[in-house]
Structure formats: C-alpha cells, structure tokens
Amino acid sequence: MKRTHGLPLLLCVLLVAPPVPAQTIGLEHEEAGGWRRTTAPYRVKEVAPINLANSNRLEDLLRAGKLYLSLQDTIALALENNLDIELQRYGPLLTDASLLRAKAGGLLRGVPTQVRSGPAGAPSQRGQSTGITQSAGAQAQAAGGADVGGAIVTQTGVAALNLDPVVSGFMRWGHFTNPQTNSFTTGNNTLINRQDLYNFNIQQSFLTGTTASLGLSTTTLSSNAFRNDLNPTTSSSLDLRITQRLLQGFGTAVNGRSIKVARNNREVSDLVFRQQVITTVSAIINLYWDLVSFNEEVVVRQKSVELNRKLLDDNKKQVEIGTLAPIEIVRAEAELANAEQELTIAETRVLQQETILKNALSRTGVSSPSLADARIVVTDRIRLPDTERIEPIQDLVAMALQSRPELSQRRINLESSKINLVGQKSQLLPSLDVVAAFANNSLAGSVNTLPPPPGSPPRVVPEFFVGGFNTALGQVFRRNFPDYSVALQLNIPLRNRAAQADMAIDQLNIRQAEIQMQQLENQIRLDVQNALIALRQTRAAVEAARKTRSFREQTLDAEQKKYALGASTIFNVILTQRDVAQAQSAEVAALSDYSRAQVQFDVATGQTLPHNSISIDEAFRGQVSAPPAVVPVQ
C-alpha cells in the first residue's frame, strides 16, 4: 500500500505540468518560448488584415493602355483577384476554428455555405443579362445555404462535456469573532479565529463520459480557544473525485459527435469553396465570350454603316445626274442614321462589358486609373468544333453525380445529422452516474500555549500531530487519514416527453434530408440532359445561322448588281442590307449561345475545373503557377 501513497501527487503533477519543449536554443529563448506557450491560450491571435493588392499578372498584361486577355489569363486573374473567391477563402479558416471549439467541448457554430452568383454581364442585344445561368440544382443549393458563419447553433441531445482542463484556485484570509453562549467548548465566551484558506483544483473531462477532479485544500487556523490542544493548526486534504456516466452521456460516440460533425463541416467548407470557384469561373468565362461576341457585333455594325454610307454616296451621285429621285437620299440618310445608332449601342455595350470584366478581375475594381482607362483586347475567338464528342448519357450522369460539389455537401450534411442523432438517442436514457471519491486528510499544529481553564486535565498531544505545513503535507501523501466513498446517482425523467419530441424531430428532419437528396440527384440528371440538349440545339443554331448569313450575303451581292443595272430598286437593296446585318448578328448571337451552353454543360457535369485546367489548391492560395500569355510588343 505504501507504494501508492505518492500516486495522487504524481497525477496532480502530470495534469498541471506544461509540455516539455522539443528543442532548446539557449536559456533566454527557452524561457521566452516557455512563457509564450504558457500564456498563448490567453492572448489574442490576430487575424491577418485583408489583402487588396492585385496579382502581378494584371500589370504584366497591360501594354500601352490595353489589357490583352486570353481565356486562360482571364481565368487566372479571376482565381487570383476575384473578391467572391477571396471571401470564400475564409470559409475553411472559420471551420478550422469551429473544429478547435468542438475539440474543447464547445457548441458548434454555423458553416458558411452561401455561394455568391458570378458577375452579370451587360445586357445583350436581346435585352437579357449575359451572366452565368446556374443549373436548377446549383440554384437550389445556393438558396438553401444561409450565411450563418457567426451564429451559435443550439445543440440538442446530451450536453457536451468541457474537454479542456480547468485549473481553479481560491484563497481567503479572514478574522472571525463569534460570541459563545457558554464557555464549556472553547473556554471563553468570545471565540476569535484567524483563518487562512488555500484551495487549488484541476478538473478534466474525457470523451468516455468521465470527469475527474483533483484538489488540494489547506487551512491554517489560530484562535483564542483555551481548550484546544493544538493552536495554531494546519489541516490539509487531497481529494480525487471521478464521475462516470453509465447510461445517458456514455461513450465516445455521444461525447465526440461534435468533433466528427466539425470535421465533416470542414469538408463541406472545402466543397463550398470549390463550388464558389466553379460558379465564379463559369461566370467569368461567359463574360469573356460575351465580350468576344460584342466585339464581333461591333464589326457587323461597322460593316452595316459602311454599306449604308456607300449607298448614300451612290444615291447622291445618281441624283446629281438625274437618274434617281432626291427622296432616295433622305431614305439612305435615315437608314445610315439607324445603322450608326446601332453601332453606337454595340460600342457602348462593349465598354460596359469591359468595365464589368475588369471589375471582376481586380480586387479594387476600376479604382486604378490605368486599369479604368485600359481597353481590353481579347485574343481568343469562339470556335465551333468540327464534331462534338459523343458520350453515353449514363456516363455523363455518373460523372455529374460524382463531381457535383453540392451533392457531396448534401451527403456530408446528412451524415452529420445521423451522427448528431446518437446524442439524441442517449438523451432518452435515464441518467445514471457512478461517483468514486478518495481523500487524504491531515492535521498538524503547535501545542496550545494558552493556559487551560481551571480544573482542566493537562494537555497531552502526540508528537505525530506536532508540526507545521510540512508535517500536514507528509500525512496527506502517507495517507494516514484516508476517506473512500462510492455513490450511484440516478435520475429518471417520468414520461420523458421533451427527449421523445426532440428524437422525433431529428428523425423527421433526416427523412426530409434523404428526400431532398433524392430530389437533387433527380435534378442533376435533368440538368445533364437539358445541358446536352441545349448544346446540340445551339450547335444546330450556329450551323443554320452560318448558312443563312452566307445566303443573305449572296443575295445582297446579287441585289446590288441588279440595282446597278437598273433591274432593282433602292428599297430592295436597303431591305437586303438589313437582312445581311440581321443574319450576321444572328450568327454572332448563336455562337455566343453555344459558348454559354458549353459552359453550362461543364457546370452540369461537374467538369468546369478539369476542362479549364484549374487546380483547387492554386485557387485557394490565389496564386496560379501558369505564366501569363506573351503580350504583343507595341
């Protein structure tokens, strides 16, 4: 038995001892490092300020007031500078902090799941915004994900244990005067005590449902009691108390569920970031191809103006020689004015689209004069492949179900709900705890020097009790006066309606989540089929628009020749020129629709990132390793 006398002291030392440093680099550094490690939990860990500096790639692509952009450079600038992506980079950091909180036994905080839609482009010729159109599945996910990053989520089920050790201390110095009704006990009618109390305790809970506390209490007392054998006295007690939950709150599955859910939330946060990158990149690609289309539209309108200006000049010459009525000059001027108006609209639409794109590619928008005044020169063109790659619809659907991040989010959230259900099941059980308490007591002091009351027997004090604090502490660790106790504490809630209701609600929520999961899977299948159909439709529209444009151009050429020979009228020429302009615009619009259909197809199948060679790690760091394209020398 004597070999176990020092066990409580050893346990106390192990619990309160700071960790040993892995390395020592001199005494001063060791002391400073040890002090910083000791005080680190009580100091604020400052978060780095936001970064509003654009990447060097933006300046590298600026030449002589022009911003030369390829599609890959545009995507890289978005990954490095777009603020929607930058905002979402804080999501994983928030969930890391939430995981740290869960490891300490704190309640979970919400995970930011809101995905911001990408920037919308300038209105197209058809009066619609040209920003990205999310699939129905992505829209449902975005609508269902509230931005709750700063909210406390109320946790049902068994209350979480505090998993961080807590050291507490209590010290009191007092002078107490108590009048006595008789002097038999103390030897006088006024008892005056001088008491010093020191109490130190450390408590630690564990995932098994165990709570252990170890405390050392010391009391020093001096009084004017004549009948005390020892005065002053020192008494100490070392108490070890262990409480184990046996039914409600038992086991690591119940008490560690918040940690598991927090780890799942970390994965959800990564998926939300991935989804934000997909959404933003898809919108940026649409902005880029729309800018290409708008520039093509400007070229079409410029050709229309040139044709109408040539027609006006020809009419003036024919009026001068008397072969044409003067009213035809007015008709040609009106047609030219209309063409110039359409050209102005097309050019201003390009300016508007450039501003939107520059704002999306810069952390400070267009606040920089060099960027605000720069004109964008797009170096890529929309190309229709000779043949579309044909894949079985089953393979495309399987790819989408595996790659779409919103579906993975739903799966993880459903798993987290089932993990939390373990805590609710435990709450249904009665509360039964076993409490084991061990205490080592001591008493020491000096022989009372106050004269005993008359008639009292002489004081006889064993040498064992004579001494000070060291004597009392020796008795404690020799376990001269031990106490042992074991107790069972039972609490049975009758009817248990609150726990039953919470259990039913949680189960019903899980069933709803399972239905929503199936709905999302069905919607993804529908998204893939619709995206595939749209891709085929837009491709057919491009081919039809090209044939129509070729036919209209040939018709215009023939009509102009007939007009030159006097076999046609100016009215027919104007109508034919309008048809050519409309056919050319329709071809540009069809190519733009095809590019957006291709982007939406990648979104539906979950292939936006691989098809554009995007590394999610580079996106999270905001540093794309691929160098910018070579800018033409001015």
Percent of the chain with pLDDT over 70: 88
DSSP reduced 3-state for 578? helix
Sign of torsion over alpha carbons 27, 31, 32, 34: positive
* Cα separation, 105 vs 98, whole angstroms: 11
The confidence band for 84, taking pLDDT boundaries of 50, 70 and 90, is: very high
Taking residues 487-512, report their average pLDDT.
93
pLDDT at 186: 67
pLDDT at 17: 45
Report whether pLDDT(154) > 70: no
The confidence band for 5, taking pLDDT boundaries of 50, 70 and 90, is: very low
Q: Smallest Cα–Cα separation from 489: which of 243, 250, 158?
A: 243
Report whether pLDDT(25) > 50: no
pLDDT at 568: 79
pLDDT at 141: 44
Q: Would you say residue 91 lies in a domain?
A: no
Q: Smallest Cα–Cα separation from 429: which of 246, 160, 205, 255?
A: 246
pLDDT at 577: 82
pLDDT at 27: 40
The confidence band for 245, taking pLDDT boundaries of 50, 70 and 90, is: very high
Taking residues 328-343, report their average pLDDT.
90
Report whether pLDDT(110) > 90: no
**Amino acid symbol at 148:** V
State pLDDT tens for residues 270-325: 999 999 999 999 999 999 999 999 999 999 889 889 888 888 888 888 888 887 78
* Bond from prior residue into 453 cis (ω within 30 degrees of 0): no
Buried residues in 135-153 as b, exposed as e (16+ CB within 10 A): bebbebbbeebeeebeeee
Report whether pLDDT(562) > 80: yes
- First and final C-alpha spacing in the chain: 93
Give the tokens for residue 355: 């501003």
Residue of 351 and 32 predicted with greater confidence: 351
| pTM of structure | 0.84
Contacts within 8 Å (CB) and 24+ apart, 96-104: 96/266, 98/262, 98/265, 99/259, 99/262, 99/263, 99/265, 99/266, 101/262, 102/258, 102/259, 102/261, 102/262, 103/163, 103/259, 103/262, 104/162, 104/163, 104/164
pLDDT at 350: 93
**Amino acid symbol at 153:** V
Q: Would you say residue 460 lies in a domain?
A: yes
Residue of 314 and 633 predicted with greater confidence: 314
pLDDT at 22: 37
pLDDT at 150: 41
* Cα separation, 288 vs 285, whole angstroms: 5
Task: Find residue 488's DSSP bridge partners.
Answer: 434
Q: Contact at 8 Å (CB) between 509 and 461?
A: no
How far from chain centre, in Å, is Cα 289? 30
State pLDDT tens for residues 29-54: 445 567 778 888 888 888 899 999 99
State pLDDT tens for residues 403-449: 999 999 999 999 999 999 999 999 999 999 999 999 999 999 888 78
Buried residues in 299-319 as b, exposed as e (16+ CB within 10 A): ebbebbbebbeebbebbeeee
DSSP reduced 3-state for 179? strand
* Cα separation, 606 vs 98, whole angstroms: 29
State pLDDT tens for residues 596-617: 999 999 999 999 999 999 999 9
Domain holding 177, by residue range, is 166-205+210-248+431-491
The confidence band for 126, taking pLDDT boundaries of 50, 70 and 90, is: low
* Cα separation, 411 vs 388, whole angstroms: 33
Q: Would you say residue 65 lies in a domain?
A: no
Q: Would you say residue 410 lies in a domain?
A: no
CA distances from 102 to 20, 193, 266, 349, 418 (A): 25, 47, 12, 52, 17
Taking residues 467-491, report their average pLDDT.
92
Phi-psi region of 609 (alpha: psi -120 to 50; beta: other; left: phi over 0): alpha
Give the tokens for residue 470: 């060291």
Nearest-5° angle of CA 27, CA 30, CA 36?
140
Least confident range from 110-114, 317-321, 579-583: namely 110-114
Q: Would you say residue 579 lies in a domain?
A: no
What total of structural domains would you count in the chain? Answer: 1
DSSP assigned state of 241: E
Give the tokens for residue 72: 């890959």
Average pLDDT, the chain: 85
Least confident range from 132-136, 267-271, 458-462: namely 132-136
Q: Are strands 431-447 and 481-491 parallel, antiparallel or unpaired?
A: antiparallel
Report whether pLDDT(140) > 50: no
Q: Would you say residue 539 lies in a domain?
A: no
Report whether pLDDT(3) > 60: no
Q: Are strands 431-447 and 66-69 parallel, antiparallel or unpaired?
A: unpaired
Q: Would you say residue 532 lies in a domain?
A: no
pLDDT at 633: 63
pLDDT at 516: 95
State pLDDT tens for residues 548-557: 989 988 998 8
Q: Would you say residue 456 lies in a domain?
A: yes
Q: Smallest Cα–Cα separation from 83: which of 327, 283, 305?
A: 283
DSSP secondary structure string, 407-424? Answer: HHHHHHHHHHHHHHHHHH
Buried residues in 406-430 as b, exposed as e (16+ CB within 10 A): bbbbbbbbbebbebbbbbbbbbbbe
State pLDDT tens for residues 198-233: 999 999 999 999 999 999 999 999 988 877 888 899
pLDDT at 282: 95
